[in-house]
């Protein structure tokens, strides 16, 4: 049974703080093991990749090229896919692409009052590594969510790495790679895949940025290679906050809570409601639905260990609680959801209304489902086109405009004791 909290309880503040502070990530310290893997791949390249892939994925190959997945294989998987599944992927890809195309930044150029021409432009990175998790489930949706923004941004080389236990990669993942515009794909996973993307090998070229979620080893590897390459974020276990009033069907809300619980035993599902009776009916609906799930063992553990139901005297206190939780996914299953959404500052993605379950965002709504977890929505955002781009500023002076602003620059350079800086400006003013 998930923990129950009541805003009216004298110890609510302390219990709520304990909920926020609860550690859901694995206690397993893999940093040393990951460091060894990174060093091995960096030093021995292809040879290390082959050995590590055989060790961890039971996939034995004599050459790195045997781990490659060609465009023909991706296209064949798409062509041979069940028509209903292929159509569903097509709908998802079209909607995701349309949303991300609207994110393209335009940059600007203007001439200021001194005549200096200033501007900013956006250009894509040359190569991006897209990590697609394997393990507990198949995630073709993650392929689309990672690859399409990179494609829209104009990244020339879009490299997918995916674990392939015993050599198997789901045809759905391959089909999604074809639709997403993947240019290069490898049957390599884990920290060794991150190392190959970060440092390159004799066969696999290094990339400029690595994105996408993975297990504890992948997360640790991304931390350790940051600086050699860029990364998007360190993904933690999935989470959802559902804010619901008693006008909802409790079975719907229960299903929404379980939609994230089934991801991982460490996932977290929280309900906030202003009706105690409704809270009880949702809890009962969760108990009813759990045994019917294929992943009931995972969802049950998540709900029991990390789930929570919070009752409040009115929804007026909800924005403050929601901002403290800063959930990856926030559902507002209430009347006037837009009004309430305007009062909330911190969430990875917000789903408004009774007919907008978070699950629709995981697949086909359009916005990206790679989102900040573990309260990091307070300072970070979901994956988007700009994550595959960088800003470059431009400055252009002529003799007149330079003369108007240089004296102030010379003064500041001298105040910092940087004589060559001052000289670089003063020499152009003959002073």
106 noted as active-site residue: no
| 287-316 as b/e: b if 16+ CB within 10 A | eebbeebebbebbbbbbebbbbbbbbeebe
Nearest-angstrom CA–CA distance, 351 and 333: 8
Nearest-angstrom CA–CA distance, 124 and 315: 43
Phi-psi region of 105 (alpha: psi -120 to 50; beta: other; left: phi over 0): beta
- Please give the distance of CA 307 from its chain centroid, rounded to a whole number: 22
- Which among 265, 328, 331, 358 is annotated as catalytic? 328
- Please give the distance of CA 296 from its chain centroid, rounded to a whole number: 25
Residue 347 tokens, joined: 């969430």
With CA atoms as reference, report the closest residue to 258 among 217, 289, 214, 228.
289
**Through-space distance between the first and last CA atoms of the chain, rounded to whole angstroms:** 78
- Which among 263, 329, 346, 369 is annotated as catalytic? 329
329 noted as active-site residue: yes
Q: CA–CA distance from 219 to each of 186, 211, 224, 233, 393 (Å)?
A: 19, 11, 9, 9, 32
Number of residues written out for the chain: 431
Residues belonging to the active site? 328-329
């Amino acid at each position: 049974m998930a923990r129950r909290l009541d805003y009216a309880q004298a110890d609510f503040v302390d219990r709520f703080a304990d909920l926020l502070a609860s550690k859901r990530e694995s206690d397993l310290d893999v940093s040393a093991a990951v460091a060894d893997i990174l060093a091995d791949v960096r030093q021995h390249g292809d040879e290390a990749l082959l050995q590590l892939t055989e060790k961890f994925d039971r996939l034995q190959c004599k050459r790195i090229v045997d781990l490659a997945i060609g465009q023909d294989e991706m296209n064949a998987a798409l062509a041979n896919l069940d028509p209903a599944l292929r159509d569903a992927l097509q709908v998802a890809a079209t909607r995701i692409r349309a949303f991300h195309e609207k994110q393209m930044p335009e940059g600007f150029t203007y001439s200021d009052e001194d005549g200096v021409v200033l501007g900013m432009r956006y250009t894509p990175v040359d190569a991006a590594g897209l990590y697609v998790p394997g393990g507990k489930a198949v995630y073709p949706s993650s392929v689309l969510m990672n690859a399409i923004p990179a494609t829209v941004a104009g990244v020339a080389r879009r490299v997918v790495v995916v674990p392939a236990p015993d050599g198997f990669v789901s045809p759905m993942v391959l089909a999604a790679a074809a639709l997403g515009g993947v240019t290069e794909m490898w049957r390599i996973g884990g920290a060794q895949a991150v190392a190959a993307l970060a440092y390159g090998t004799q066969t696999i070229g290094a990339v400029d940025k690595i994105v996408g979620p993975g297990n504890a080893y992948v997360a640790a590897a991304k931390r350790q290679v940051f600086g050699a390459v860029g990364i998007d974020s360190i993904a933690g276990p999935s989470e959802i906050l559902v804010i619901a009033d008693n006008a909802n069907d409790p079975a719907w809300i229960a299903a929404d809570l379980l939609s994230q619980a089934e991801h991982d035993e460490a996932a977290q599902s929280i309900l906030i409601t202003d009706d105690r009776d409704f809270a009880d009916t949702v809890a009962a609906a969760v108990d009813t639905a759990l045994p019917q799930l294929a992943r009931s063992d995972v969802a049950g553990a998540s709900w029991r260990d990390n789930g929570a139901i919070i009752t409040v005297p009115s929804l007026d206190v909800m924005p403050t609680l929601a901002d403290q939780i800063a959930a990856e996914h926030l559902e507002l299953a209430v009347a006037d959801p837009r009004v309430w959404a305007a009062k909330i500052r911190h969430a990875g993605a917000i789903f408004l209304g009774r007919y907008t379950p978070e699950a629709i965002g995981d697949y086909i709504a359009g916005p990206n489902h790679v989102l900040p977890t573990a309260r990091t929505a307070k300072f970070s955002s979901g994956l988007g086109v700009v994550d595959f781009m960088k800003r470059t500023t431009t400055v252009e002076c002529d003799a007149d405009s330079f003369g108007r602003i240089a004296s102030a620059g010379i003064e500041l350079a001298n105040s910092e004791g940087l004589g060559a800086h001052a000289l670089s400006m003063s020499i152009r003013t003959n002073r």
